[in-house]
Amino acid sequence: MGLAAVIMGVSVLLSRFTGLIRDKVISYLFGATRESDLYFAAFVIPDFINYLLAGAYFSITLIPLLALYFGSQEEEGWKFFSSAVNWIGACIIVLTLVAMAFAKPLARIAAPGLPPEDLVRLAYFLRIVMPAQVCFLIGSCFTAILYLRRQFLVPALIPIVYNGLIILGGVLLRHTGMEGFCWGVLAGALVGNLLLPVLAVKFGGGLKWRPAFTHPGLKRLFILALPLMIGQSIVVLDEQLVRIFGSLVGEGAVSWLNYARRIMLVPVGVVAQAAGVASYPFLAQLIAQQDFQKFHATLNRALEGVLFLLIPMSVWMIIVARPTITLIFQQGQFGVEDTLATTRLLQISLVMVFCWGIQQIVGRAFYARQDTLTPAVIGTLITIVCIPLFYLLTVHLGAMGVALASAASIFLYTLVLSFWWSHKFGFDAFRGLGATVGKVSAVTVLSAAPAVSVSGIHLFDPALSPYLASLWQLAATGLVFATVFLLFSLRWIPHLVEPVLGKLGPPGRWLLGRSRPRSP
């Protein structure tokens, strides 16, 4: 599980990096303008339809059933898989055609704050990116096969190919405005999300698709997926709510919020998402073996590891929020005022990063028990409660209110989800986490103090050399923070830091050797 987490962590890191390059190109060419707002708003309806068919979690609902049927008889497994792919493909194609036909009224729902002339261009963007959902959803079925085979490399490459083609389309067709990036989305989804996993399944173990539409397992798949289809969790709708309410603030707000969210999701993806994806097949297997003691112990270790990494990462990123935005985005059409606005939103978003980590793990623990209903119900109720909160904070605080509402909703969802898990399955998964959080927080505070002091030392004039000044702040504060954090962690929480160092190869083993007391 640790090796799988490392593979997926590196994948997400590279994916976030290419995603940042994509957003850097967008900010350089178009800044935080109406054109970039339209591009980001164009994903509201396609993403909602994807969530409506449980696309964000389809491979999760599919994996336990694939394991069951392939485990009993391979021929039966392929028949079930083919039936599922054929049905989901037919549904998403029909919904895509309907959405393209009604693009104009749907554009008004996606961005209610836009003037009528901009809604026409938004509808055009929507028609371009909408077919990408067909590739996403069908491709996720083939990705589930790869996860079942524990072949993590190709799934790790998918987002990199996707982002790479978006960048290529945007640069080659930059004379068309953001339209080029929309065509890049379609190309990236076709090549990266559909063709790549299909070929990987075919040449990595065999593919036996057939034109079947009936199988007894479809009923169970539908029962598992139905809560995710009906229930629209705040986790999957958060990005869409940010875009919808951001359109009410004014020009540039959607782009500021999007850029801030992209940076915030880097630690979430690299740590929490990677740990969740890697742990899920193992958790599902332990449930299948009825080994509940080991299941809870594995879940506890996953939560402990995620919190150990996310708490210090988010605090350090809050410290260096402005130089981060300056270095990545402040260039071309993206000016100093855009940097300041995005920095404030990023710092607000980073406060609740640890909650993203907890819900990624606990949510998959529910799915491993084939309980998709509980997270869906809780997520839907939290969404209903938080929509008025989004509106009130947006009206009174603008873009900052949108960011605050987003952070508050994720915190509330994580709190209720964790409470319900403890109520239903006991407290074993969370045993000792309070002490861990306390120790990690104390070490983080001790590490943050010298890092903040170093950030005040300016070797370069920020006004004359903003990029060198930002690079210096990131490097200096990062080195000081990491060094102090490592030293105190080895002293106070060695059981958490030693597994991490052990996976860093010779440098990590050298540090472990230096930290352990020598025998006389």
Q: Where are the domains of the chain?
A: 1-229, 231-443
3-state secondary structure of 374: helix
pLDDT of 510: 66
Taking only the tens place, the pLDDT of each residue in 240-273 is 889 889 988 988 999 999 899 989 988 887 787 7
3-state secondary structure of 491: helix
In Å, how far from its chain's centre is CA 472? 28
Taking only the tens place, the pLDDT of each residue in 374-432 is 888 898 889 889 999 999 999 999 999 999 999 999 999 999 999 999 999 999 999 99
**Cβ atoms of residues 96 and 133 within 8 Å:** yes
Separation of alpha carbons 257 and 168, rounded Å: 24
Cα–Cα distances in angstroms (integers) from residue 124 to residues 74, 111, 176, 211, 347, in the given order: 44, 14, 12, 34, 34
| Segment among 57-71, 108-122, 138-152, 190-204 with least mean pLDDT | 57-71
Q: Which helix (H) or strand (E) holds 46?
A: helix 44-52
Task: Find the largest Cα–Cα distance for the chain.
Answer: 79
352 pLDDT band (50/70/90 cuts)? Answer: very high
**Cβ atoms of residues 132 and 185 within 8 Å:** yes
**pLDDT above 90: percentage of residues in the chain:** 46
pTM: 0.77
**Cβ atoms of residues 429 and 296 within 8 Å:** yes
| The one-letter amino acid at 315 | V
Residue 135's Cβ-count burial label (10 Å; 0-12, 13-18, 19+) is: buried
Single out the residue of 237, 385, 264, 279 nearest to residue 328, CA to CA: 264
Mean local confidence (pLDDT), 236-243: 82
Token duo for residue 130: 């909408």
**pLDDT > 50? residue 519:** no
Mean local confidence (pLDDT), 82-92: 89
Single out the residue of 351, 350, 329 nearest to residue 340, CA to CA: 329
